[in-house]
Structure 1
Amino acid sequence: MTGLLFAILAGALMTSPDSAPGWNTLTGERPVIIAHRGASGERPEHTLAAYSLAIEQGADFIEPDLVMTRDGVLIVRHDRYLSTTTDVSAHPEFADRRVEKEGRQDWWAEDFTLEEIKTLRAVQPREGRAKDYDGQFEIPSFEEVLALRARASEEAGRIIGVYPETKHPAALAALGLDPAPELARILKAHGLDGADAPVFVQSFEPESLVRLDAMIEAPLIQLVFPKSEMDPALPFESSVALEQIPAYADGVGPNKFLVIDRAGNDTGFVARAHALGLAVHPWTFRDDDPPPDGLTGEAEIRRALEIGVDGVFTDFPATGAAARDR
């Protein structure tokens, strides 16, 4: 995608104040607020309730992570295993579905049909967050999230974008549940596969994005993390070299400490990415997980915006919107 198309997309998603400040973003347009798993700081993640609240709080994009059911339906969960974000362990009828995969004993989405998944209810997985809404909300399919996005855009009078991530696409494809063709099919069916669609498709796996690049025109984002997370002996640098990314993707989603280090210093990552024509959307900003230098959640986001990020992933969209709009 060209910088012009990024500008068109950003402009379509926002309602600029009369006297907007200058931004150091790739296009000069206002950065976007991406609701990480919805308003997941206040509702169980990846539920329609979490996405609805995020939109009310001013999010420009909602982010559904995608895994597949046994019958080939894309559903919205951060992980293929279900014990941390659902009440599956309280369902005796599924006791025999708990099996070991990849060194973990758990219940796995790909072993359930959509009908069975719909009997589960979401729970808050993150320690320290309120459990008041546990057990209330269904696990949505991707198409249900897109239907919510369309309704909310009409009701709010502004375009709400969607920012799906395929989780473990190679592992699922090896099981005969390839998410890429189904994702492309659904986006096309909803008119969201074009270069100017209010969509970013993200993945940690470059091979998945290369395949999707041949299927859809929607913007693609390469997610990256520090190599040292895989092995402490490796350098603290991007898991995929920035110079490789423009061949198949339009932007990069880095761990936030690749952008601003733990001492609060600009690493130069944003400037290098922008020089390559890549948008930068770092993750994840959380009010209840402050940076090592002690800034508040809003101040941490404001600092990232000042150095020119094009958007931020946050569990607390109201905080992100406040940081930007102030």
Structure 2
Amino acid sequence: MADSRVETISRLAQWKIDNFGPCSYKKSDPFKVGIWNWYLSIERNRYLYIHLFPEPSRASKEHPPIARFILRVSNTGSSRRFYISPVHERLLRTCDDFVWPVDTTFVGRFIIDVEFLDLKICPLNGGEASSIWPSDGKLQSVAAQSALQCLSRMLDEGIHADLTINTAEGTLRAHKAILSASSPVFQSMFHHNLKEKESSTIHIEDISLESCTALLSYLYGTIKQEDFWKHRLALLGAANKYDITGLQDTCEESLLEDLNSGNVLERLHEAWLYQLPKLKKGCLTFLFDFGKIYDVREEINNFFRHADRELMIEMFQEVLTIWKPV
């Protein structure tokens, strides 16, 4: 029947009913919104009852929808009246899951509009429902992922690379713009009339080729977790040398995460060398507050022979603080 058809555009569905009597039931044809087919049905028994439900299918069984929507009913006469529902949010499986009673005497021709504000998939095994429509956050995530893929290709394939990096073990190709945007030190090299600007070559010979590759991967946003962990100390040194603040902070947080008796003295040295207050405080707390100083008794003598005098004073003051009488 012609008046069973539901027109859809975007997230709106509209059902125009040409003939509906005082005691009738009518069901629409299926219409698709999102990944589901839907039905509207109406019946009159004092009130006008409007049902909205998904078509029984594999999609609605395995991925039942949580719909957030508004309904509107209006007549088509010259004195047009509207009945607008509150915003509903329901898990919809069957025709009994949602019904809206409308106290109206509409007969003959009228219109039912449904606006879907959101549609989420309800996971059968629990967990948080996820929207099928991209939000601003998802759009940003998709855009960021696309940008990272482009940057990865630029680095891996040397697309329009205009910079050569010489390390002690080989050379790498990169882009002045990327390095300049990441580091004020690199930016200064290429902005002023320094030799790096003229030759389009820089020398990074104090870290290995592999570590320099990891550094570039970080600057291009494509570094893998295992590569970051493997080259943390080298990356920390590069971050300090080239004033890459974000990388230095990330390295500091990471070095604090896996502190243990086997590495605490090395980490304390790095913290002092690169002026990392959180890491230094963490190392001192680990050694003195938690008593791990006794686990490194054999290593501590060698550490003191090479430690900076001011660091030794700080360690001594930490001991006095711990042993201070209450």
TM-score w.r.t. structure 1 length? 0.22
Q: Give the number of the structure whose alpha-carbon radius of gyration is greater.
A: 2
Greater share of residues in helix:
2
Greater share of residues in strand:
2
**Higher RCO (CA 8 Å, separation ≥ 6 residues):** 1
